Structure 1
Amino acid sequence: MSTLICGSIAFDNIMVFHDRFKNHILPEQIHILNVAFLVPEMRREFGGCAGNIAYNLKLLGGDPLIMATVGDDADSYLLRLDDLGLSRAHVRRIAGSFTAQAFITTDLDDNQITAFHPGAMSYSHLNKVTDAPGATLGIVAPDGRDGMLKHAEDLAAAGIPFVFDPGQGLPMFSGDELMHFMRRAAYACFNDYEAKLLCDRTGRSLEQLADEVEALIVTLGGEGSRIYAEGRCHEIPAVKPYAVIDPTGCGDAYRSGLLYGIAECWDWQKTGRLAAVMGAIKIAHRGGQNHHLSRHEIAEHYARAFHSAPW
């Protein structure tokens, strides 16, 4: 059973400024801001929500199919997908464009200045869900606005249950549009800030929104997560990581656990706990795709946290 991962593929360019932004930005001159930061440290990571989710789902033994758009500069990413055994049959290259890229500069206080170029992601609507007839489950993750709307419609029309996961793309949509997604999705997932924004935009409570889907998942960072399903709220504990290095991609790792559990028809406690384990594993590594664990090692993490085997 394949899971169709509709979302972004991106490069994350991460730079470190060995000082503090506040020492170089004068409040009284903010209206004519013109600053430059020397960043002697820089690394480039493979990222994007679809890439990260698929990477983690593959570690779990799932069968992810990525549906995304990339630019002329995507050769290294495409070769990586081949090396990982991830199909790129539904990864479309958009000629004359760059792959989506984030440029993140962090100072010594962990403040960040980020610029994001969507590039080829803006053409994600050119991909068609009907081109992936083997999919039995899907997710609509952050992507181009038109692509997210189209893929939700296509998945619903094909009768493929899917997770609505707008992430940082949520502000692109009005309350009516968000309700449109919720009424087509089988599941929906948000962090706590996004959940509050969803409630504000739609004028509905979480409990009311949960009635629109089979399960509404809200992640709470170090406080765990809540899954509203079956007429109740399932409290999922957080898993203590063995190190806290980088939160980039933790949400995507969590979602891979959700998708695996849903595909395996697990109950919500077990599904949520696997998702929590995947998030804890990820946060102990830099970047969204630099944790290299076997399925057996993931099971050991689960057993240490919950005193039972996941499979």
Structure 2
Amino acid sequence: MSALICGSFAYDTIMVFPGQFKHEILPDKVHMLNVSFLVPQLRREFGGCAGNIAYNLKLLGGAPLPMGTVGKDFDRYQEWLDRNDISRQYIKMIPEAYTAQAYITTDLDDNQITAFHPGAMNHAHEQPVPAKGVKIGTVSPDGREGMIQHAKQFFEAGIPFLFDPGQGLPMFGGDDLKSFLTQASYVAVNDYECEVLMERTGWSQKQIAERVDALIVTRGGKGASIFARGKVHEIPCAKADSLTDPTGCGDAFRGGLLYGLLKGLDWDTTGRIGSLLGAYNIERPGTQNHGFTIDEFRARFKAEFRYDFA
């Protein structure tokens, strides 16, 4: 059950603004924007897409192989991975760089403003995809050249992979995105990112879905839609006990997708596993602070969706 998860490792500095951005930003003055938000709450967390997805897949009993480049300040993160028995086999240290850093401010509407320093992530292309020992892969937000090369390497090795552009989407134009969509087996985006994909490629949602085995579009509190082989699977949003922090919910959902794909589950079940992982994530601050046993997860899944999974 090995999944090679190509993407970023980062330290997340997460701040919560106890208000709404829409009340602080004047739409007719965005050309001269100069705002400051008082953020009484601040946390520093382990993050990055590769780390987050791997953490969630590991909780389900999967065998994640996160792959990324990190910096000279990775010691604390390395200890965390070891405590959670997550492989560091494909993590490469770049001594002259810092590990990527994200500074995330969230408002009460779950909107986010993020500043990101890529650091060692810019060396992602120095890590090649191994040709053997991997059942499935992901190309998640990472260095630009790394994402391009890893997609090509997965494709040439015949390893199916999930294209998960996320916050890396602005780095690519239409031709780049068409290449990713031609090589990928699966694509996972949120509803806004799907609109960007369509605008930049000139392809409709239907045309994108026809080029891959499945197009997964998440819609926050409205659930998700999975377009696969001409059929649409509507995935409900799992009920969360509290709405503490949305940061990392998309990565949690993708951990569920990988689990379902590795186990050969149907799309309705796979999507619901991802949905429930997102609920666990949003109930706790940060992206790697939730936890459960597989029996606890199964019991909650059955209570939520009225059936069990294999």
Q: Same fold (TM over 0.5)?
A: yes
Change (3 A) 1:166 1:79: same
Question: Aligned AA for 2:249?
Answer: C
> Structure 1 residue 44: deviation in Å?
0.5
Listed as ranges, the matches of 1:85-96 within 5 Å are 85-96=85-96
Aligned with 2:287: secondary structure?
coil
Superposed CA deviations along residues 46-84 of structure 1, whole A, max 9, x for unmatched, are: 000100000000001110001011100010001111110
> Structure 1 residue 37: deviation in Å?
6.6
- Residue in structure 2 matched with residue 220 of structure 1 by the alignment: 219
Pairs aligned (count): 310
Change (3 A) 1:32 1:253: closer
> Structure 1 residue 109: deviation in Å?
8.0
Aligned with 2:203: secondary structure?
coil
> Structure 1 residue 21: deviation in Å?
8.1
- Residue in structure 2 matched with residue 5 of structure 1 by the alignment: 5
- Residue in structure 1 matched with residue 65 of structure 2 by the alignment: 65
Change (3 A) 1:19 1:228: closer
Contact 2:17–2:40 (CA under 8 A) maintained in structure 1:
yes
- Residue in structure 2 matched with residue 51 of structure 1 by the alignment: 51
Identity %: 56
- Residue in structure 2 matched with residue 292 of structure 1 by the alignment: 291
Aligned with 1:129: secondary structure?
coil
Listed as ranges, the matches of 1:96-135 within 5 Å are 96-105=96-105, 113-130=113-130, 133-135=132-134
Listed as ranges, the matches of 1:161-310 within 5 Å are 161-310=160-309
Superposed CA RMSD: 2.5
Structure 1, gaps ≥5 residues long: none
Question: Aligned AA for 2:165?
Answer: P
Change (3 A) 1:292 1:109: closer
Aligned with 2:257: secondary structure?
helix
> Structure 1 residue 212: deviation in Å?
0.7
Change (3 A) 1:252 1:96: same
> Structure 1 residue 88: deviation in Å?
0.4
> Structure 1 residue 42: deviation in Å?
2.5
Partners of 2:77 and 2:244 in 1: CA distance: 24
Change (3 A) 1:28 1:49: closer
Change (3 A) 1:294 1:126: same
TM-score for the superposition, normalised by structure 1: 0.92
Change (3 A) 1:250 1:17: closer
Partners of 2:241 and 2:29 in 1: CA distance: 44
Question: Aligned AA for 1:83?
Answer: R
TM-score for the superposition, normalised by structure 2: 0.92
